[in-house]
Amino acid sequence: MLEQIINWFPEWARPFIMPMLTIAIVLQVNLGVCSYLILLERKLSAWMQDRIGPNRVGPWGLLQPLADMLKLLMKEDVIPGHVNKFLYVLAPGISVFTTMLAFAVVPFGPVPSNLSATDGQFPYIIAPGIDLGMVFIFAVGSLAVYGIILGGWASNNKYSALGAMRASAQVVSYEIPLGMSVIGLALLTGSMSIEKILLHQANAGIWGWNIWFQPLACVIFFAAAMAEAQRLPFDLSECEQELVGGWHTEYSGMKWALFFLGEYTHVITISFLTSILFFGGWHFPGIAESDSNYLGSTLVKMLVLMTKSFAFIVVIQMLRWTIPRFRFDQLMGLAWKVLIPLATLNVVCVMIVKQFHLNVWWLLPMSALLCLGAGLIGTQAKRPFLRRATPPVDKPHGHHAPAHAH
């Protein structure tokens, strides 16, 4: 149907109509999905904690996101007098813009391999044909921390400043394992294009999904991406027990909501990328193959991708109420002492397999050995923060006591 709508326009207008139509669909769907992901997280957390959750506004509480949005829109726009007003207002916009921009190269359906700007085919991606799609996502995604840093600094609040400093150190640290985790995929596929990585898996079938060859890279990518999104247990920049609210302590109303819109957009991007890079994307044996062309096959492929992404969104939300928050030294140690060495060794394993033309299935036991070795090293490592026994101190008594004790 979308192709029919596009064909109504003359050929000279289609290169402009298709991107605008794709952007409009992605933005509107993304805003609605983010609203109801908040409701899903509240209901899921209530279920995990044996509570009821939102159930008053509308049937089963389904209208709660609309009530929350109306409340935020009608709230007074408060700008504290001690803040840097320009940067204070700019920070939420940067946070949302960068996370939305990162989704521009993420396909949400089967991208046609022979896509042309004038043939009327709907692209199912905002910016098709970018060969360095993964590099673009990492480059733009890393800019999202500028919204947090500027918001924390412009708030002129010590808790906000501490949260911004934590966020900057965290993002810089976790960008390294995040980028290194996909180098193995690029070596196996021969491309950094997200569409080509997806098609490589679809053409190889279910046993060609990258999760079988790069399970360690999948875990590293997922953990580092959650740290980039500031999601629990990596939300050290906004933990209420230590920093009141962290970098958004001074924010309220829609400016506060924009920060969390950026966070949930980042969660959606993480889920889509994990599904596409490691779990075959829209491919599913029997119903969504690369050569499937039956009536409604495109819709089925979209539903398969959405289902996989939704499963990862639920996992991310459940982790919030499952794993306790790290200490900040543990957070940094996880990146520099665990994830970065493992990502480096994983790349070395892929290079060995490619150099000596070994079967790619050798990567599965290699990943298992790396995980086992990391676990053994972790059990033998010393804990620097264990409470040390202090030697007893002799108290003065009797005639050995100093004169001022009498």
Q: How many domains does the chain have?
A: 1
Runs of H (alpha helix) within 103-230: 133-154, 158-181, 183-189, 194-204, 215-228
- The three state secondary structure string of 46-94 is HHHCCCCCCCCCCHHHCCHHHHHHHHHHHCCCCCCCCCCHHHHHHHHHH
In a domain, residue 402? The reply is no
Residue tagged 């004790």 (tokens): 405
Question: Which of 69-78, 107-116, 366-375 has the highest mean predicted lDDT (pLDDT)?
Answer: 366-375
Phi first, then psi, for residue 288 (nearest 5°) are -140, 75
| % of the chain with per-residue pLDDT over 90 | 26
In this prediction the pTM is 0.86
In a domain, residue 228? The reply is yes
| % of the chain with per-residue pLDDT over 70 | 87
Residue-wise pLDDT tens digits, 230-254? 888 888 887 767 777 778 888 888 8
Residue-wise pLDDT tens digits, 86-99? 988 898 888 888 88
Q: Does pLDDT of 314 surpass 90?
A: yes
In a domain, residue 55? The reply is yes
In a domain, residue 233? The reply is yes
CB 139 within 8 A of CB 72: no
Q: Which residues contact 204 (CB under 8 A, 6 or more apart)?
A: none
Give me the pLDDT at residue 118, please. 47
Place 406 in a pLDDT band, splitting at 50, 70 and 90: very low
Give me the pLDDT at residue 398, please. 53
Residue-wise pLDDT tens digits, 121-162? 677 888 877 888 888 888 888 888 888 888 888 888 888 888
In a domain, residue 254? The reply is yes
In a domain, residue 89? The reply is yes
For residue 109, the 8-state DSSP code is S
Q: How far apart are CA 331 and CA 333, in angstroms?
A: 5
In a domain, residue 231? The reply is yes
Give me the pLDDT at residue 274, please. 94
Question: To 5 degrees, how large is the angle CA 202–CA 196–CA 21?
Answer: 100
In a domain, residue 200? The reply is yes
Question: To 5 degrees, how large is the angle CA 304–CA 310–CA 311?
Answer: 95
Domain region containing 347: 2-111+120-375
